[in-house]
Every structure is written in C-alpha cells, then in structure tokens.
A and B are shown apart, each in its own frame.
Chain A
Amino acid sequence: MHRRKAELAEVGLLLVGGGSLGFGLAGLDETNLVRFTVIVALACVAEWLEVRFGPFEGLTLRPVVAFIGLWGGGSAILMLAGLLPIAFVGIPLKRSSPRHVLAQLGRDALALWFGFLVYQNFVNSTVWPMPSMLTREVAARVSSILAFWTLLIPLQAFGLGLTEGMHFRSALQHLLRHAWPHATILTLVAVMLSYLDAGFGIMVMGIAVVMLVEAYYPWKLLGEQRGVLTTSLQMMAQAVDLKDPYTSNHSRRVSEYAVRLARAMGLPEVEVERIRIGALMHDIGKIGISGRIIRKPGKLTDEEQVIMQGHPLVSASIIEPLEILGESAEMVRHHHENWDGTGYPDGLKGEEIPLGSRIIFVADALDALLTDRPYRKGASRAEALAIIRRNAGTQFDPSVVEALARIADLL
C-alpha cells in the first residue's frame, strides 16, 4: 500500500516538475540570456552547498539565488534557476538517483510556484495597504521566499513519510526544528543580496553568493560529519560482529529494523537517532569477550554464560562517557530485559524497561531469527514474526510486536 502511494505521488510530482520546466523555458527571451546564464550558474554553486539535518536531504542555498532571479527578472528565471541545478548538480555530484531527482524537481516546482504567486499577489494587489513602494516590494520579497519554505518543508516531510516510513508529524517537527533558523537567515540574506544585485550589478551579487557559500561551508561539513559518524560506528560494530562470521553486519541490520520500528511507533526523530546509535552499539561490549566463546556452536558452560550475559553492561559502560552516544547507554544496558521481568542485567519489568531497549530487543531477535547459524537455517519472515508474536507479553513488549507486524512487509 505504501509503495503504491509513493508511486502515485512521484508521478504527480514528475508532471508538475516537467510542466514548470517547460513553462520556464518558454518564458525565456533573448534579452536576458546573459543574466539567465549567470544566475543559473550561481544557483548551481549554491545547490552544491547542502545543509543536512539527518541521514536524508536538508536544504540548499539554491532557492536564494532563484528568488533573486525572480525579483530582478521574472518567473522564467525563477523556475529555471530553481529547478535546473537539481539535475545539473544532483546527478553528477551528489549521485542522486534519477527517480529521486524527478521527485525533487516536482516538489520544488510546487513550492517555487507558490512563492511566485505570493510575490505577484503582494506586488499587484491593492488589498494590502503599504506606506511606500519600497516597503511593498520588500514585504513582497520576504513573504514570497517565506511562502516557498512554508510549502517546501511540509512537502519534504510528506516525502520522508513515504520513503522512510516516518510519521508526517514527527518528520515535520524534525525538519522545522532544524530548518527554521536557516530559512529565516537565508530569507534576509536573499533580500539583501537582491538589493546588491539592483545597486551594484550582477557580478557583485555573484561574489556575494560565492561568499555566502564559503560562509555556509561549516554547515555543510557538519552535516557530512553526521554521516561519517554513523559509518564509523558501523565499522566499530562490524569489528565486533565479525568475531563470528555468522553475525556479519548483525548490528547494522538491527539498527535498520529498530529505526523502522521506532518510526512506525511515531517516536520523535531525536529519540529515533538515539535508538539508531543504541542499536548499532548494543553488542559492542562483546569486544572484550574471547572469540572462542562467541564462536562456540554448542551450549555455553555456566561460567561462559555469565561472561556472555555481562555484555550489555560492558556495552553501556563503553559508550557512556562519549557525548551523543552516552544518551543511548541506558537503552543499551537494558536490551536483554524481558517484558515479564525475567531478563538481565537488572530484571526490570514492563514499562520500567526503556522503550528504546524494548525496540532494540525485538529488532535483535528478529535479525537473529532471520539469519543462518552453523546449526540451523534462518527462518522465513513469516516464521520469525510468528515466533516473536508467540513471545509477546512474556519476552517482548506487545506494542512493539504489534508495530513490527504492521511494518513487516517493509523490512
């Protein structure tokens, strides 16, 4: 059902995007060709600078240039500078899939159109009394680009709902929380730059855009560093998982499942990030356990059992002192607690167990069931789900299991 909706939305966005591009090209006349070229080139530079707020797309500086194009030249330049860079930069440099680019084109086209309509309405309408032409123009500029952000961000959240299985509300909250300071500042910058454009010519405005990109560079670095952090944690987890060849990539899959589960349960994105890290790090405590015990195919002796059961504590103590990771320590510590209180290390019961731990526990069990072991083949999805369902209420939190059943076909 999910996939169907996503495809429909994509086709719709594709039509909108294609139509707008066509409109933009049709509206281009020869007199403003130089200006058009410079603006599109600047928009490409601006598109390169992307500020990411999470493992998915964030915002770029492109709209700033596109709207300057609108205010000084008309809707054709707005559409082309706002849309062409998505393909020009997205495909060769960011390696976005064509499908993703098309969806993005349509989405941005909608938001750009909305901004354009607001601008036109503001400039031409007599409904809004304004003390002077200048105030009217400034107000029109500010509100048009604000209108763009206002439509773009919910559209982005909607897209994340379709592709990442996030709840619209939590996606929107997450995006808004991170995007609004940038949207505000970029709105002001865009209006200032447009007056630079009018007063000093497009070349000076061009330097200003380059300067803006340079000034924004730390934000791009910061966003990329988030990705590097996740991959290096994955590497650390993989180092432990590979102590037993049968558990290769275990932690990464558990973290994927746990993130899906957490999103399906509508948790806020901040918590989802904690769960992602907690799930990646849940077995890190096994780093100190001898490979001989970990790879042992048969039953463990009592002594070995004690060593193995110590790993949640060790995992938690490893990540606790590290900021950002430390916030996940508590859920890592309790990821082997059973719902009925028979688990370890503390024998917590029901709601006393942190929600993150309960989610990681289910994800961990799911991956263990699905993968092959030396002594048995992995279970099929239906079998694994049935086994987990059977243990809901004793081992697992019933509400997490219910969420798992809902998204089982997505995993």
Chain B
Amino acid sequence: MRTITLQVRFVAPIVVGLTTTVIAALVDHIPWEGWPQLLLSFGMIVIASLMRIPDPRGSSVTPSSVLFYLVIYIFNPPTVLLIVGAGRTVGYVLSNRGWAPWRAVFNGAQVGLSAAVGALVFGLLGGNSGHIDWPRDYPALLAGPLAHQVVNNFFVAHVLSRWRGTPFLRTWVDGVRDLFWPNLLSIPTATLVAILYTRFHPGAVVAYLLLLPFQWRALGLYIRRRQLYEQIIDGLVVATDANFPVGAGKGHARRVARIADAIAREMRLSESMAESVKFAALLHDIGMIGKDDLLARPVVASEDAEELLDHVRVGAEIARELPREEIAEAILHHHERFDGSGYPGGLRGEAIPLAARIVALAEVVDSMAFGIYPHPTAASWASIISHVTLEKGKGFDPDVVDAFLRSLDRDPFAIEGWSPSASDVARSPGLSWMATR
C-alpha cells in the first residue's frame, strides 16, 4: 500500500492541478442558470457512489457509471468535469473508506477528467448535449462512454502497474477489456434515462435510482447462494485432501488450481473455459475419496497402484454431476501424456482436452514442489523448471509449458507465495483476482 501512496503523491497534484485549471479557464461555459439540474446530477452522483453493488460478473459496480454516461450525454465538457469531479470527491469521502483527502480529490479529479473526455468525444462525434437525437446520435452515444472508460482505465492502470509490477500498456488493455461488457451494457440504460431527462423531466434520474433496490434483492440472494456453492466445493476439496496421509498433500488441490488458473489466464482462454480449468484443477483428485485405506499404507503395492490410477475414472464420474461436461473430461484425462503414453485413454496431443493438459502440468509442478506421491521429496524450483522444460512435447503440451514459464516470468508471485482458497476460484476475474493478493 505504501507504494500506492507514493504514486498518488507524485501524480495526484498534476491531475488535480490540471482539473482545477480547466474548470477555472472554462468557468464561463458552465450553465449556472440551470443550477437545479447541476445540483440534482451532483447529488445523484454522490448518492450513487455510496451504493456499491457487488457484481457477479466482475468485482463490484456502482450505479454511478450510468450517471456518468448520463451527464456525458446532457452537459458540455467543463460542466461534466465539475459535476463528476466534485460529486465523486464528495462521494469518496462519504463512502467511509477512511479519511484520505488527497486520495479523494485525486479520485474525483481523475474520474472527472475521464468523463470530460467522454463528453468531448460525444460532442465531436455530433452528439448534441441536451438533446438526444435517436438514432442519429448512435455512434456518439457509444463512443462517449467508451472514451470515458479508456481514459479512466489509463489512470487506474498507471497505479496498478506500479503496484503489481506489470507492464503498463498491458495492464491498461486488460483493464479496458475486463470492464468492456459491463460498461457497454450500461449504455442503453444511460441513453434511456438521458432521453427521459431531456424530453420529459430531469426527475427521471431519481426514478432510475429508485429501481435499484429491486435488483439488489436478487443480487443479495444470489451472492448468498454463490457462497453456499463455494462452501460445498470447499468442503469437497477438504474431503479430498483428507485422504492424503501426509501434511504435504494438504492444500494440494488449491495450489494446483492456482497454477492452472495462472496458465489459463496466460493462454487467454475464454472466461467459461478458464472457470472450467479451475474447477477441474480443484477437483482433479476427487476420485481419491474412497481410496483412503490404500493411501494410508506406508508402501503402495503394485495392484493397489493400479486401483489408485482408477481415481481418474471415479473422479470423472463424480464430476459428471456438474452441468459442464468439460470438467469431467479434464479430470478423466489429467494423467494423459502429450506423447500418448499416459492413462487412461493413451490419448495424444490435441486429442487430450486442453483443460486436462493444463491440469496435468499444474499437478506435476505442485507435486514436485511439495514432494507428494509419487515424488518422494520436495524438489527445488530450478529442478522443477528443468524437468518441465525437458518434458515439453513429451509429457506436456508445449504451448502449456510456454504459458506456464511466461506466467512465472510475468508474475512469480502468482505461483510461489500463493495462499489460495477455493472461494476465489468461483469468482470472476476482473479486478477481483488481483484483490486476492
């Protein structure tokens, strides 16, 4: 956190200075005679900043983005800068995140600037502030909010990239991409409210905020259910772990999930695929549940070893209960080798499901690192990496190996110092996956 504060101290004065200068220079362009409308929008932004809705698709959203778009549509850039900057600053202070005046002002100025850029783009593309001409304004209606988003993410990425030690450009692009859909989906809402605001009555914006509690009720219920679901998966993971007699096996499933997740992200898999990979990694040894008596013996006899290998079949049968077929497939094939010498199917190359290829690598890495059967002792990182590299194209998919090595380069923290829990697995990515650090 200290690095962030430094960062803020360095950049914040520039941003805040720029904001105040722009407002002071263009103060004549602000339509003061319409002060009730300015005050209304300001008040709504303050209130919206206080209403945090946990968003199941991302981290958490406030209804404020809809209001930002609204003011982008109906006011000129300097007015937007003033309203959003001031509203956001006050909202930040009131939202009980501790007393940090600099951060509040910086946050306000930063969001205000990006909204003003959005309003500028809206105007440049022919959007007529104060009168939405649907559907002629269609491009402007889309571009304004998106410009706001891109600029806003520029500031956020600036701070985040320093904090996480990731390249700036990539952090920026990732940030924009993660928030693209939620933001795009807010545009129709904002357009509608803007139309009602300008053609009917500004009070429409209040009506919009009144609709939110109904949505909240569902979200609250949903999140409780989701937690229960996570508890169930957690319970299964604990039950699987309990079958490993030695201490090193504890937490194996979660660590494997962490590694597999890092690889899946590195390979830029789709959201649902990445989630399947995580679930498959968490549950890959679930078929061990009935085999506790075998693992408890000090030496594993050869016929018992045969039965242990059967855990992939049992595990797949258990996971077939889940609605996603690919999870069961990944569990079934997580002991296949890329060259076709694995089990149970002896599949080769691309015939092995991708999720299974990822889990296979992640499982070996963790087993070596912690000395889990069949690896007798814990291996060093250097020897793990040389083993993985050596097995590239033999035991493991070369693409997966490359992705794994890249993810180590990019963020060694993701693998080494992990303290993973199953509860962050079911969560969507976005900002939340970095929040777990």
Whether the pair B232, A215 counts as a contact (CB closer than 8 A) is no
CA distance A323 to B287 in the complex (A): 27
Whether the pair B189, A235 counts as a contact (CB closer than 8 A) is no
Q: Is B291 an interface residue (CB 8 A)?
A: yes
Q: Is A381 an interface residue (CB 8 A)?
A: no
B292 to chain A: which residues have CB within 8 Å?
Answer: 290-291
Distance in angstroms from B58 CB to nearest chain A CB is: 13
CA distance A291 to B288 in the complex (A): 11
8 Å CB interface, A258-313 against B: 287-288, 290-292, 294
Whether the pair B134, A228 counts as a contact (CB closer than 8 A) is no
CA distance A8 to B143 in the complex (A): 56
Chain A: CB-nearest residue to B230: A232
B232 to chain A: which residues have CB within 8 Å?
Answer: 229, 232-233, 236, 322
B185 to chain A: which residues have CB within 8 Å?
Answer: 214
Q: Out of A238, A290, A322, which one reaches B321, CB within 8 Å?
A: A238
Q: A204-B192, A218-B222, A233-B232 are in contact. Are A227 and B215 (CB under 8 A)?
A: no
8 Å CB interface, B143-202 against A: 185, 188-189, 191-192, 195, 199-200
Whether the pair B225, A226 counts as a contact (CB closer than 8 A) is yes
Report B272-312 CB contacts with A as 1/0, cut-off 8 Å. Answer: 00000000000000110111110000000000000000000
Distance in angstroms from B250 CB to nearest chain A CB is: 16
B318 to chain A: which residues have CB within 8 Å?
Answer: 235, 238-239, 242
CA distance A228 to B318 in the complex (A): 15
Select the residue from A200, A222, A248 with max chain B CB neighbours within 10 A.
Answer: A222
Whether the pair A234, B291 counts as a contact (CB closer than 8 A) is no
Whether the pair B215, A215 counts as a contact (CB closer than 8 A) is yes
Q: Is A225 an interface residue (CB 8 A)?
A: yes
Q: A211-B189, A214-B189, A231-B323 are in contact. Are A236 and B235 (CB under 8 A)?
A: yes
Q: Is A203 an interface residue (CB 8 A)?
A: yes
Q: A215-B211, A215-B215, A222-B218 are in contact. Are A203 and B188 (CB under 8 A)?
A: no
Report B206-246 CB contacts with A as 1/0, cut-off 8 Å. Answer: 00000100110011011011101101110110010010000
A198 to chain B: which residues have CB within 8 Å?
Answer: none
Whether the pair B192, A222 counts as a contact (CB closer than 8 A) is no
Q: Using C-beta atoms within 8 Å of the partner chain, give the interface range for chain B.
A: 35 or more
Chain A: CB-nearest residue to B239: A287
Q: A232-B322, A242-B318 are in contact. Are A218 and B233 (CB under 8 A)?
A: no
Q: Is A91 an interface residue (CB 8 A)?
A: no
Whether the pair A210, B188 counts as a contact (CB closer than 8 A) is yes
Q: A232-B232, A235-B322, A323-B228 are in contact. Are A211 and B188 (CB under 8 A)?
A: yes
Whether the pair B195, A200 counts as a contact (CB closer than 8 A) is yes
CA distance A294 to B291 in the complex (A): 11
Distance in angstroms from A310 CB to nearest chain B CB is: 17
CA distance A234 to B323 in the complex (A): 11
Whether the pair A222, B322 counts as a contact (CB closer than 8 A) is no
A232 to chain B: which residues have CB within 8 Å?
Answer: 229, 232-233, 321-322
Whether the pair A322, B228 counts as a contact (CB closer than 8 A) is yes
Q: Is B319 an interface residue (CB 8 A)?
A: yes
A155 to chain B: which residues have CB within 8 Å?
Answer: none
Q: Is A25 an interface residue (CB 8 A)?
A: no
Whether the pair B224, A234 counts as a contact (CB closer than 8 A) is no
A221 to chain B: which residues have CB within 8 Å?
Answer: 56, 218, 222
CA distance A252 to B321 in the complex (A): 10
Q: Is A168 an interface residue (CB 8 A)?
A: no
Q: Out of B188, B231, B322, which one reaches A214, CB within 8 Å?
A: B188
A side interface size, CB within 8 A: 46
Q: Is A208 an interface residue (CB 8 A)?
A: yes
Q: Is B135 an interface residue (CB 8 A)?
A: yes
Whether the pair B289, A287 counts as a contact (CB closer than 8 A) is yes
Whether the pair B221, A222 counts as a contact (CB closer than 8 A) is yes
CA distance A218 to B53 in the complex (A): 11
Whether the pair B323, A228 counts as a contact (CB closer than 8 A) is yes
CA distance A129 to B232 in the complex (A): 59
Q: Is B317 an interface residue (CB 8 A)?
A: yes
Chain A: CB-nearest residue to B226: A225
CA distance A236 to B231 in the complex (A): 11
Q: Is A325 an interface residue (CB 8 A)?
A: yes
B116 to chain A: which residues have CB within 8 Å?
Answer: none
Distance in angstroms from A38 CB to nearest chain B CB is: 12
B231 to chain A: which residues have CB within 8 Å?
Answer: 322
Chain A: CB-nearest residue to B185: A214
CA distance A254 to B304 in the complex (A): 32
Q: Is B259 an interface residue (CB 8 A)?
A: no
Q: Is A349 an interface residue (CB 8 A)?
A: no
Q: Out of A233, A234, A243, which one reaches B290, CB within 8 Å?
A: A243
Q: Is B314 an interface residue (CB 8 A)?
A: yes
Whether the pair A292, B317 counts as a contact (CB closer than 8 A) is no
Q: A218-B218, A222-B222, A225-B225 are in contact. Are A231 and B317 (CB under 8 A)?
A: no
Report B30-46 CB contacts with A as 1/0, cut-off 8 Å. Answer: 00000000000000000
Distance in angstroms from B345 CB to nearest chain A CB is: 20
Chain A: CB-nearest residue to B214: A185
B225 to chain A: which residues have CB within 8 Å?
Answer: 222, 225-226, 229, 324
- Residues of chain B having any CB pair with chain A under 8 Å: 56, 134-135, 185, 188-189, 191-192, 195, 199-200, 211, 214-215, 218-219, 221-222, 224-226, 228-229, 231-233, 235-236, 239, 242, 286-287, 289-293, 314, 317-319, 321-323
Contacts beyond the supplied A204-B192, A236-B236: 7 A-B pairs with Cβ under 8 Å: A204-B134, A231-B321, A231-B323, A232-B233, A238-B321, A242-B289, A323-B224
- Residues of chain A having any CB pair with chain B under 8 Å: 185, 199-201, 203-204, 207-208, 210-211, 214-215, 218-219, 221-222, 225-229, 231-236, 238-240, 242-244, 248, 252, 287-288, 290-292, 294, 318, 322-325
- The 9 closest A-B CB pairs, nearest first, are A243-B290, A218-B218, A235-B321, A291-B290, A234-B321, A222-B222, A225-B225, A219-B218, A211-B189
Complex A-B: 20 CB contacts under 8 Å:
A203-B135, A204-B192, A204-B195, A211-B189, A214-B189, A218-B215, A221-B56, A222-B218, A225-B226, A227-B323, A229-B228, A231-B323, A232-B321, A233-B232, A235-B319, A235-B322, A242-B289, A242-B314, A248-B317, A323-B224
